[in-house]
Structure 1
């Protein structure tokens, strides 16, 4: 319709949300569907966090707060960064938003101009490019294929930087691949960035605590303190604390940038939900012992899914270091024919036919900028995962 903004023509709806909604619709219509599209832990929010929210309600802490976070939450975030990441921030360097997505969006809206470029390793979280486009700039992609463990190399990054590059968006552990960068790999990335002082870095550390085996998480500003003055370190309580619906994300960065982000937020949403902020204080300051317990279950699920997918004809599934996703390749099935008679030409064809034939909802790799792959979230009941993988094996075996 002509009265809609032209900028909307530059963006598309979130593919992960679309898959989740499609699965819900099919379930409501009576189909037996297993949805593996949502990046959301199936564990409940811990009781101590719930009680903190209830206490805030009972104590009347239900009024407007400072635009970008209550002092108590900013103090908890400052302490978290110091304790876990060896990063020193003041409260004036902390931004709190309605989820990590708003924090990222605020930063891009506050800094980007027409003609600016933002480097994004592919595969990427579906929202990064569209947020850049909405901010009026151009996303530029760097290949981070299966051959390099879904990680961008220092040489590839160096070659991709131009005078127009304003930001690098850097996500580790990664959505969608689960790939996580070692300290040595971060060191190589940091060395490239030191050569290009005009490039700012947005590190999306949302899956920081969701790492497995002997992997040790690190973040870029921690590895190279000289990057701190041009790094926005973004995190949140959604994933590790099982608080997706509470909508609290946060970031630490240069005070001038944080102030600009607050200006954007003051004219869009104002403060995040007061009750959720008090719950987040408890999440960051309270017991952390449930995180390794949850991770033990996630690791078992990861190992189950990787093993079963690698037993499916035509699939190849690497073992990720973190997050709760796998990103298998279906290249070995391209050109085959589904039971419906449709020829599988793309990963989107694969996931569409899988949903139709077996009632398993996954997300096509093309939505994340790299195919032919698809993403599975294993943040769901183990029994559902086992059944879903059995169906995927059956579907792959049925292709002719």
Structure 2
């Protein structure tokens, strides 16, 4: 349509939302569909957090809030960074947004000019490159391959940086691969970044509390304090606190950047929901006892899914260190003929044939910039995961 902005031609819709929607539609038609597309914990928001929201409503905390967040939440965020990450931020160096997406979007909107490059390791969360494109920047992709456990090598990062690079986007544990960087692996990357003072770091720590075994989470500024003045550390309550629908993301960083993001947010949405902010205060300040319990459940699900997928013909699935995704390769099925008679030429073909034949909805790797793979979210019950994996095994066995 002629009246729409040119920028829309550079932006693709979210593949994860599309798969979830398609699964919903098929279910509504009476199909038996198991949807493993959405990155959303199946746990309920803990009761203490819900009570805090109810109390806030009863106290009348229902007015507009300051753009960057209520003082109580900004203090809770600064305290969290000190307590859990050893990072010193004043409350005025923090900002609260309507989900992590808004934080990232506003950071790009506040900093990108046409021609500016943003280095993004692939596989990447589907929204990073689209946000960069909307804000006028140019995404530059660097492959973090299966052979390297989906972790970016310092040499590859070094090669991707040019005089035009404005940001390096870092996500550990990763959506979609679940890969998480150890202290030494991250230090190798920060050593490269220290040599390029014009490059800023945007770290997405949304899955910080979801790591397994003995893995210890670290964030870039914790590993390399020299990056403090050019890093935006983003996080939120969605995943660890099972608060996806409350829509609260937050970040801390250099004051000039926070002020610029505040200015953009002031003309966009103003402050996030007052009730959700009071719930987030309780999430950060209140008991954290449920986090290890939920982690243990996720770890069991991960082990089940990895084990069963590796028994499927043509599938290879590494065990990730964190988040609640696996990112198996379906390279062994490319060129095979699906039960429908269609030849599987891409991971998108694999995903659509799997949905058609067995009613299992997953997301194709091409949506995340690296294939032939597919992403499974194991944020659902063991019974459903087991049934889904049996169906995947059967589908793979039926391909010839």
TM-score, normalising length from structure 2?
A: 1.00
- Look up the match of 2:204: 204
- Look up the match of 1:327: 327
1:304 matches 2:298: no
- Look up the match of 1:193: 193
Structure 2, unpaired ranges of 5+: none
What are the superposed Cα offsets for residues 137-196 of structure 1, whole Å, 9 maximum, x if unpaired?
A: 100001101011101011110111000000000000000000000000111111000100
- Structure 1 Cα separation of the partners of residues 332 and 64 of structure 2: 55
Query: What is the 5 A alignment of 1:346-357?
Result: 346-357=346-357
1:5 matches 2:29: no
Query: What is the 5 A alignment of 1:71-86?
Result: 71-86=71-86
- Look up the match of 1:114: 114
- Look up the match of 2:131: 131
Secondary structure class of the residue paired with 1:384 = helix
1:169 matches 2:169: yes
1:47 matches 2:47: yes
Deviation of the 1:68 alpha carbon: 1.3
- Structure 1 Cα separation of the partners of residues 287 and 2 of structure 2: 53
1:366 matches 2:360: no
1:274 matches 2:274: yes
Secondary structure class of the residue paired with 1:67 = coil
Deviation of the 1:35 alpha carbon: 0.2
**Cα root mean square deviation, aligned:** 0.4
Q: Which portions of structure 1, spanning 4 or more consecutive aligned residues, are displaced by more than 3 angstroms?
A: none
- Look up the match of 2:160: 160
Deviation of the 1:92 alpha carbon: 1.3
Query: What is the 5 A alignment of 1:204-223?
Result: 204-223=204-223
Secondary structure class of the residue paired with 2:2 = coil
Structure 1, unpaired ranges of 5+: none
What are the superposed Cα offsets for residues 285-342 of structure 1, whole Å, 9 maximum, x if unpaired?
A: 0000100000000000000000000000000000000000000000000000011110
1:246 matches 2:250: no
Tell me the number of residue pairs that the alignment of Structure 1 and Structure 2 aligns.
Answer: 400
- Look up the match of 1:66: 66
- Structure 1 Cα separation of the partners of residues 143 and 217 of structure 2: 23
Deviation of the 1:115 alpha carbon: 0.5
- Structure 1 Cα separation of the partners of residues 289 and 47 of structure 2: 13
Deviation of the 1:370 alpha carbon: 0.1
Deviation of the 1:91 alpha carbon: 1.2
Query: What is the 5 A alignment of 1:286-305?
Result: 286-305=286-305
- Look up the match of 2:141: 141
Deviation of the 1:380 alpha carbon: 0.4
What are the superposed Cα offsets for residues 50-82 of structure 1, whole Å, 9 maximum, x if unpaired?
A: 000000001100000101100000000000000
What are the superposed Cα offsets for residues 218-265 of structure 1, whole Å, 9 maximum, x if unpaired?
A: 000011111010000000000000000000000000000000000110
- Look up the match of 1:261: 261
